[in-house]
Structure 1
Amino acid sequence: MADTAPRTMIRAGRRAQASFGSRPSSGTRHPLVATAMVLPLAALLVVVFGGWDAVVTQASSVGVMLGR
């Protein structure tokens, strides 16, 4: 029984992928599409966790390290 569980999971994953459509044959996604997918989640996380101050602090630290 333990031998068939991984195969069942693989088949279920393939069915789920087929139902959501397939990616281009190269397996890559345009950078603008990836950005458009990530930005709403990133904005939500910044608002929920109050991360804006951390982003500003890190950016200024990197600027100081680069000598700007």
Structure 2
Amino acid sequence: MTRTAPRRTVPGPRRTGRRHPLVATLMALPLAALLLLVFDGWETVAAQASSVGAMLGR
């Protein structure tokens, strides 16, 4: 009788790489609209977009 190793349950493969720019834009738009509404100014939206760009290394 041969022994087999127990099976591991591993979640699906991890995605590596970059998110599509359109998906990233669609994710950022609600926050930009909220900032525009709350703070009533494009400067805040531009500053937020700039910080997100800096975090992404662009």
- TM-score bin, normalised by smaller chain: 0.3 to 0.5
TM-score by length of 1: 0.30
Highest relative contact order (Cα 8 Å, sep 6+), 1 or 2? Answer: 2
TM-score by length of 2: 0.32
